Amino acid sequence: MGKQLILFMHPDKDSFNGAILQKVKETFQSSGEEVMVRDIHQLALSPVLSRKEYKDSLQGIYPREVKEEHRYMEWADKITIIFPLWWGTFPAAGKGYLDRILSYGFAYELDGEDPIGKMKGKEVGVIYTTGSPKEEYEGSGMADSVNKIMEEAIFSFCGFTPLPPLHFGNVVLASEEEHEEMLSQAKEYIKKYYLN
């Protein structure tokens, strides 16, 4: 039985991202996986990395709320991040969560300028949405840029093994039938990459 951590980065659980969260969670649970969901917007966790916290983290000193999130990451075998792509990246609360929780000394260290990832042995994947249609988003080169930043500048940097990303486009205007097909694809994605 695996330990699955889901980081949910949409402010509204009644959104299509919320439907994805529900489908992913159900897929894990029906396979007997242990599941923990961290609803980023509901946490009592400021997204702002302060100057003091930044300096303290270089000494391995972390606030209580950051250490609590560290424990969830340590617990997990695999991590799924579910989010809407806003202004080319994670929503601010989600980006701030990563700024604070992927702390120096916990998620990575540096040997000069060379990163030493400390999250080795953990896999991470993303399921994200855009309002723009899939063909337009991917055809513009934006998908390649966003995926490269996530994979290289965040996940691999910290030692995670990145899983292929799953993107859904046109989610605002999609029909109910199209949404159902996307949710089916999310279920298959989880079965293929997380339940093997």
What domains does the chain contain, in order, with CATH numbers? 3-193 (3.40.50.360)
Write out the two tokens for 67: 């250490």
pLDDT band at 1 (very low <50, low <70, confident <90, very high): confident
Helix (H, G, I), strand (E, B) or coil at 149: helix
CA quadruple 95, 157, 149, 39: dihedral, nearest 10: -30
Do the bridges between strand 123-129 and strand 78-84 make them parallel or antiparallel, or are there none, so unpaired?
parallel
Report if pTM > 0.95.
Answer: yes
Helix, strand, coil percentages, rounded to 5, for the chain: 45, 20, 35
Tell me how far apart the alpha carbons of residues 25 and 149 are, in angstroms, rounded to a whole number. Answer: 26
> Region 14-35: what's the mean pLDDT?
98
pLDDT digits (tens, 9 = 90+) for 37-95: 999 999 999 999 999 999 999 999 999 999 999 999 999 999 999 999 999 999 999 99
